Every structure is written in C-alpha cells, then in structure tokens.
Structure 1
C-alpha cells in the first residue's frame, strides 16, 4: 500500500456519480487528507466536481483506484454492484487499500468480490439529504453516519466519520435494509408533507410559502426528534458482522 506524506493522512479518490462522493471528499480534505482525483461518468456531475475542486484531476476509475489509499465508491444502490464488479474483474484494486461505499442499503457484502484482492471494506452512509451543494458540508457537521465494517477495522470507519465532523452509529450487516428503509421513510414523508402544506398556502395567495413554513417545520421536526431521543443500548462490538 502506498504511504502518505504525513502519518495518518490518506490519498483519497472518488469513483462514481453520486454527489455524496464529493461531499465526503470535501470533508476529508478539510481534515488534512489529500485528494487524488475523481472518476465520474455523468457529464453534469463531472462539471460540478471540476468547479468544486479546481486542480483535482478527473481520471479513469482504474487510475483513481491505483493511486488512492482510500477509495470512495459513490454510486446508487442499483449501480454499486456493477461498478465493484468492473473494478474487480479488471483486478484494479490495490492490496491493503481502504474501499468505502456510501449506499444506505448495504453493509460490506457488495465489496465481497474485492476481498480476494486484499481490500479493507467499509460501508459509511451520511444520514443527510444530499443536495450536491456547499450546504451538505455544513449539515454533515451535525449529522450521524451509519458505519458497517468487519470488527477489526470498524474503528477505522468510525475515525473517518469523526474526521468528517459527524458522529458514527454502528449498524449491523443484517440491519442495513431496515436502516435504509427508515432513511427513505423520513426523507420521502418530509418532502411529501412540506409540498402538501406549501401547496395549500399557495392556494390562498401566500407568496414564498416555503419561507413562511421554514421555521415551523424545523422546530416541529426538532421537537418530534427530541421526543424520540431516548438513549438506546449501544451495539456490542461482538455483534458487528465479521
């Protein structure tokens, strides 16, 4: 495995089209890690990342993997498997490198095929509604990230989350599906209710109904979350999937 110029600092590369990859890259760069490059197929996302990270090269996926100590695979759930399979079949992985995917739905199972090439698998999902803008980084500072990893390397995933300014919460391999369902439920329900309420205000002539409801929605959500913030027992490390 390649060595970074500074102890504990990693060369970070991003492969994939999901905007969350750029969010994590920005956060890790702010913690002192080096950005190696991005491999992005989508033209709009390439343009956005080039504007966000001037001077950071846009490379092929194989080049990013070859040069990086930490590879962030930022793909949607339906594209993650294909991306990992492509890189595995090309024998692109570097033994000893960290490979982190960002899908809520999965633990480390999708990275199983890459294990034979010696990668260290991590699954980290930030529980924020990603916009692809600078707002995401600020929101990450007050967010939680779901982490799943084999027990010996779980502290690595947790440390990366802390460096992002977020808080890690361990989700067991077999519980990732339920976690993803909870995230989707909260996101889709909030959007639906806000749209319904703003449409009603628009219907009676209220201008900029989103701004009118913004403080109410935030305070109501905060109060509801506070009501549910009963401490749950921590997951023992022995229960984390090896």
Structure 2
C-alpha cells in the first residue's frame, strides 16, 4: 500500500461524536487533517468531543457537513439513510466533497443521494470495538478497516485506502454485495464471543469460583491465539475427543441454566467442525450427537 496517494490536508466534519466518530476524528487529526467541526447532542458525546477533539466547534449536522471537505458520518446503522437524505435536502453536500460512513452493515448504496449530489462516497468500517476513549486511537493502528466503494470507482477506492493508511490501519476491500455477509461474520465473532465469555464467567461463579475472569483469561487468550493460527486443528475438549459421557454430565449440570441452549448448539457445531477436520472419528461423532439429541428429548 506504500504507493497509495495521500489525500491533501482536508477539513473534516464529524457527525457525530459517538464512540467511533470521536476516535476516527482524532485519528484523522493526528494524521495531519483539520477537524473543523463536530456534532454532539448527548452529555457523553459532548464529553468525548471535549476530550478527543478539544477546541473543535460543536455545530448542527448540516453546518458540520457544509463546512467540510471530508464528511464523516458515524451514526447508528438505522439512522444513516435518513441523515444522508437530510444533508442532501439542506444542500449541505456539494460536488467534490468526500462523504464517508463507518457502518459495518451498509456499503455505499446508502450514500447514493450524496453521490448524485456529486460527492465521492466511501464506506470505512474499522474492525474493532470502541470505548470512545483516547486509547482507541492507538488501538486503531493495529486493526483492519473494511472499505467499500462503488464498482469501477477507483478514485473512491484509492481515497478510502489512503485515509485508512494515514490512520496507520490496514485497508481491506469488501465488495458492496458482500457487505452484509462480512458484517454478519464480524458480529458473530465479536458480539457473540462477549456473550459466550460472560456466560462462562457466570457459570464459574455458580460453581463457587469467585475470580472467574482471572481464571478464564489465560485459557481463552490461548484458545483465541491457537484458532487464529491453526484453525480447526486448535479444537480440544470432550466434544472434539468424542467423550460423550463428559458431554452428558455437562448437559445434566446445565439443565436449569440459561446457558444450556447455547452449549448444546455450539457442541453440535464443534462436532461438525471436528469431524470435517478429521479430528473426530465417525463413531465417536455419532455418540456425541446422539447424547446431545437424547438429552434434549
């Protein structure tokens, strides 16, 4: 990516100063751009703007967009389409502007009204979770950013890549048609991982283990590292070994737990992956699946 052209110093307008917008605004400022204005309504967003974008004027969204070369739209997925239509209707978008949104679920089709107004449109989705604090700006340098631009619009693709490289992140091209599947994969991994870990901690506390997070930390960190390095070859535990008796004991002690349906579903999926990877023999896989089915009945 060293050959990617660097955009000129841009006046950036951030709509709004949520966890993502405030951090990306700070990252763009650190890379040499000028954050000219930001929109913020809630007390939390005003505090984030004050901390991460100090001395930046807080203005209504149309004013933020109208004064910017680069308009950064960092609003919830369901608000994005209406915001874009509103900015265009108020003549806040002009030819030659760069309009970027940060939604993972959307590609650039949602920005079509801005594109028709003459703006260069790009979707930039950082693949990380945000706290909205200053350490996120540094964490951004270790993450990938999913980029989507219109098919054939190489100028938009290159501008998106250049902005990502300027923030010291890694650009990854995601076609418009693949955007929902891309986002589903990330949500399944990150969001459901949090639910899974929280359920594990609750179950450990039910077993009398007080410092559950400290117990889980090394185990889960090693498991994550192993699967990222080795894929299905990292599978361990009673399901991957075909130890149906242990699985039956787990199902019994989890009988009254809200964790049981997730345990059962993930055990089945683990058996499928272990079988496909050649780790679990067919007869033992059948025993595990039979145990899971019998316990449910």
**Pairwise TM-score range, normalised by the shorter structure:** 0.7 to 0.9
1:167 is aligned, of 160, 166, 170, to: 170
Q: Could you say what the CA RMSD is over the residues aligned between the two structures, in angstroms?
A: 2.0
**Equivalent in the alignment of 2:250:** none
Mean Cα deviation higher: 31-40 or 119-128: 31-40
- Say if 2:201 and 2:212, in contact at 8 Å, map to a contact too: yes
CA distance in 2, matches of 1:111, 1:47: 29
**Equivalent in the alignment of 1:19:** 19
Q: Deviations over 1:112-132 (max 9, x none)?
A: 011222111000000101221
**Equivalent in the alignment of 2:102:** 102
Q: Which has the higher contact order (CA 8 A, sep 6+)?
A: 1
Instruction: Please state how far the C-alpha of 1:53 moved relative to its aligned partner.
Output: 2.2
Per the normalisation by structure 2, the TM-score is 0.71
- Say if 1:18 and 1:76, in contact at 8 Å, map to a contact too: no
Structure number with greater Rg is 2
Answer yes or no: is 1:196 the counterpart of 2:199. Answer: yes
Would you tell me which structure has more helix in proportion to its own residues? 2
- Say if 2:96 and 2:119, in contact at 8 Å, map to a contact too: yes
CA distance in 2, matches of 1:125, 1:19: 13
CA distance in 1, matches of 2:141, 2:218: 20
Answer yes or no: is 1:180 the counterpart of 2:177. Answer: no
CA distance in 1, matches of 2:181, 2:60: 34
CA distance in 2, matches of 1:17, 1:56: 11
Instruction: Please state how far the C-alpha of 1:198 moved relative to its aligned partner.
Output: 1.2
**Equivalent in the alignment of 2:71:** 71
- Say if 1:17 and 1:42, in contact at 8 Å, map to a contact too: no
- Say if 2:37 and 2:56, in contact at 8 Å, map to a contact too: yes
- Structure 2 gaps of 5+ residues are 1-6, 233-297
**Equivalent in the alignment of 2:30:** 30
Mean Cα deviation higher: 150-159 or 102-111: 150-159
